[in-house]
Amino acid sequence: MLRGINVGGQKKIKMEELKAHLEAIHLKKVRTYIQSGNIIFEAEKDNPVDLAKKISDKILKEYGFEVYVLAKNAQELNHVLNNNAFVLEKHKDIDLLYVTFLSETPQQALLEKINRIESNGEEYIVSGSIIYLCFPNGYGQAKLTNNFFESKLKLMATTRNWKTVMKLAEMAVS
């Protein structure tokens, strides 16, 4: 997952071009989903941190700008799907659900600080390096955004809506 590309005319990357660049660094069966940096591929080595760095370095070389890349394998995506309490226990409308993927598990002290912040009815559940979100007023008006979590938790973050997470998990096993 690439953070912050093709948003507001910044960091423009055409997915077909990106696919070719990723194939050039020996990623196999590269497929993209929508224009916001969702990529599914196969790799000989399955170390997500190394793969993310390799992709980030290739983007910097080819496009001249840095992009935060977060790699998750099919098992990790399925874990996210199978552990969303907003779906499993609270039966929330999936159109209101999002997932923020963090670069690592946040420090407990920083999590405790954000628990005291008023969020205008927005709900979140932290599970390791994953934050499940429910935005009753939509993401456009959300306070609990990537920038919020990055600044408060001192980590990198990228967010996807629930339908995109479901599609990526589906693509990862097909």
Q: Are residues 90 and 31 in the same domain?
A: no
Task: Sort 14 into a burial class: Cβ within 10 Å, 0-12 / 13-18 / 19+.
Answer: exposed
Q: DSSP E strands: which ranges in the chain?
A: 28-33, 38-42, 97-102, 123-127, 130-134, 157-161
CATH number for the domain spanning 139: value is: 3.30.70
- Position 118 scores a pLDDT of 80
Among 23, 41, 71, the domain boundary falls at 71
| Rounded Cα distance, 50 and 72, in Å | 11
Among 71, 90, 124, the domain boundary falls at 71
Q: Are residues 84 and 52 in the same domain?
A: no
- Domain assignment of residue 116, given as a range: 74-173
Among 24, 56, 71, the domain boundary falls at 71
Report which of 68, 156, 149 is spatially closest to residue 110, judged by C-alpha positions.
149
Which residues, in sequence order, are bridge partners of residue 101?
130, 158
- Position 36 scores a pLDDT of 82
Q: Are residues 64 and 84 in the same domain?
A: no
Q: Are residues 50 and 116 in the same domain?
A: no
Q: Are residues 165 and 101 in the same domain?
A: yes
Domains of the chain: total = 2
- Position 60 scores a pLDDT of 96
Q: Which residues of the chain have pLDDT under 70?
A: none
Q: Are residues 168 and 87 in the same domain?
A: yes
Q: Are residues 60 and 128 in the same domain?
A: no
Q: Are residues 66 and 78 in the same domain?
A: no
- Position 6 scores a pLDDT of 82
Q: Are residues 24 and 42 in the same domain?
A: yes
- Position 119 scores a pLDDT of 83
